[in-house]
Structure 1
Amino acid sequence: MSDGPSQRPERPHVPTWRIILAAILDFATVFGFGGYVIARFTGNLTSTGFRLEGAPAFALFALIIGYFLLAPRMGGTLWQRILRARRPRGDA
């Protein structure tokens, strides 16, 4: 017989603003660093930054998509870890 409601451990609440800020900063970080590295290797650096067209642009898109698909499976993205914005497993 049970003495009361089931003893389920409380999950810490993550504020929505942290999750949104982490996503924005993650995108900017991957776009900036990934774009620079791809531009450096493909010769697309300009005096004001980089300009990617064609295959290098698709490579950057693939990098961004891969980052957002793989990083959460490895413990969270860079900014989720810094801002402690990782949702507990099982939450939607």
Structure 2
Amino acid sequence: MIQQLLEVRGIRHVALIDPAGGIVTSAGGGADISVVQAGRAVIGSLRAALGQGEWQDLLLDLEGGPILLTPHGDQVLLTAFDEVASLGRIRFAVRRLLG
């Protein structure tokens, strides 16, 4: 299923991560999945501070390239791609796949 995302120009790596931080499935290579647990902690803190419910996605612009974290049930889809300028195309592809 997530292998399809590698066909989108700019996407280098995708991984579906379970609540414990384990990889459910992945395709491509080169992304550090440890950012998912840190991202979950940031989201939890922000939700508590702001009193907000669900989150849509979190963009991390890291030295190795941007990473988009998108919730999917209790799992998180990590999408690593080439540049922030591609974000609209990446978001569209991720939402189409998960929708």
TM-score (norm 1): 0.35
- Structure ID, larger Rg: 1
- Structure number having the greater helix percentage: 1
- Structure number having the greater strand percentage: 2
